[in-house]
């Protein structure tokens, strides 16, 4: 019988109402006991590194979850992480970079309604996540939620209340779970043994997301310089960057000043789907080949945050950061041609 490690971190799935709003209270053991249908599926071990609302999840907490998986890796066949939905996409992306080429599945799930709610989605999500983690074809990091398995680098929370809360952005879902049946799309093969699991133990949390809005002052980059090593810049459309802010300062000067000082800029788009191409319009082409400016292509902002933190955690050399950033990990990017 396979052995699965259930890692409880809090979130809505573990929440109860105490008169001041929902907050995590149930333990991992209590959550497992709430779904008697999982009894007999596997040998289940439960750990509880934290019990928090995922709004309070920080990069240091990603490392705590990573450490739990590393410590239990040899003794378990798979891992299911119970997590709040609000930042689940960030955690899934971070674990995709911290634990690469894993032949053992690492599955994140949660719920839109607490386990104790009479109309909860928690029971089915937990049950199907365990089924997916036990399947011989499952590997690497993924989110299983609402009957869909999504690569850990491609998930985004799209809905705040509906049970199908997550979508797979710019990449097909890995599989659909229909009751007890896993239906795969054929794009994801089994793990190749020649690529052993690779654990990473450092990230740089000094990464900021800046969304462009009409008239924003380019001087915001100078204000961020003391606190951050990289900025994820959400541009307009397919890669449009205004020439000047309301103050009259040039965006190009401010961005080039940032990267020429040894910091990193990652260009992406604030449009949800289809990605960025800096070469299409004149207002983006000037940035396409400038050293220190990286292109997010079709990656999600959540994944860009995690990947940039990971890349900067491995090296301060610009060429090595670029190599790491443009490497493909867990289906995270399809380069724009």
Known catalytic residues?
Answer: 12
Residue that is written with structure tokens 């509906």 in the block: 162
What is the DSSP pairing of strand 175-178 with strand 148-151?
A: antiparallel
Residue that is written with structure tokens 């740089």 in the block: 204
3-state helix, strand, coil in the chain (%, to 5): 30, 25, 50
Residue 170 CB coordination number (10 Å): 18
Write the DSSP assignment of 201-241 as a string of letters. ------EEEEE--TT--TTHHHHHTTT-SEEEEEEBTTTB-
Is 27 in a helix, a strand, or coil?
A: coil
Find out whether 151 and 105 touch, Cβ atoms under 8 Å.
no
Is 118 in a helix, a strand, or coil?
A: coil
Residue that is written with structure tokens 């899934």 in the block: 92
Q: How far is CA 148 from its chain centroid?
A: 16
Residue that is written with structure tokens 């020429």 in the block: 260
């Amino acid at each position: 019988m396979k052995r699965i490690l259930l890692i409880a971190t809090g979130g809505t799935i573990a929440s109860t109402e105490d008169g001041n709003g929902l907050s995590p209270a149930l333990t991992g053991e209590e959550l497992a006991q709430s779904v008697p249908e999982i009894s007999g599926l596997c040998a289940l071990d439960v750990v509880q590194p934290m019990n928090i609302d995922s709004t309070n999840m920080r990069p240091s907490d990603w490392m705590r979850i990573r450490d739990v998986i590393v410590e239990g890796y040899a003794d378990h066949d798979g891992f299911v992480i119970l997590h709040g939905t609000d930042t689940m996409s960030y955690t899934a992306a971070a674990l995709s970079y911290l634990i690469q080429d894993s032949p053992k599945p690492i599955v994140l799930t949660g719920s839109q309604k607490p386990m104790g709610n009479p109309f909860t989605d928690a029971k089915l999500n937990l049950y199907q996540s365990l089924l997916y983690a036990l399947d011989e074809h499952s590997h690497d990091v993924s989110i299983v939620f609402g009957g869909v398995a999504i690569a850990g680098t491609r998930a985004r929370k799209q809905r705040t209340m509906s049970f199908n809360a997550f979508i797979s952005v710019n990449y097909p879902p890995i599989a659909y779970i229909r009751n007890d049946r896993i239906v795969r799309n054929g794009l994801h093969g089994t793990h190749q043994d020649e690529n052993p699991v690779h654990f990473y133990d450092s990230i740089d949390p000094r990464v900021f997301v800046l969304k462009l809005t009409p008239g924003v002052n380019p001087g915001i980059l100078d204000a961020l310089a003391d606190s951050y090593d990289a900025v994820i810049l959400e541009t307009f459309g397919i890669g449009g960057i205004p020439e000047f802010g309301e103050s009259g300062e040039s965006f190009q000067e401010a961005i080039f000043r940032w990267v020429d000082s040894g910091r990193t800029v990652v260009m992406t788009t604030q449009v949800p789907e289809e990605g960025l191409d800096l070469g299409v319009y004149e207002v983006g082409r000037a940035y396409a080949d400038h050293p220190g400016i990286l292109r997010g292509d079709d990656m999600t902002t959540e994944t860009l945050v995690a990947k940039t933190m990971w890349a900067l955690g491995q090296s301060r050399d610009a060429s090595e950061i670029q190599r790491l950033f443009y490497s493909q990990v867990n289906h995270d990017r399809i380069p724009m041609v």
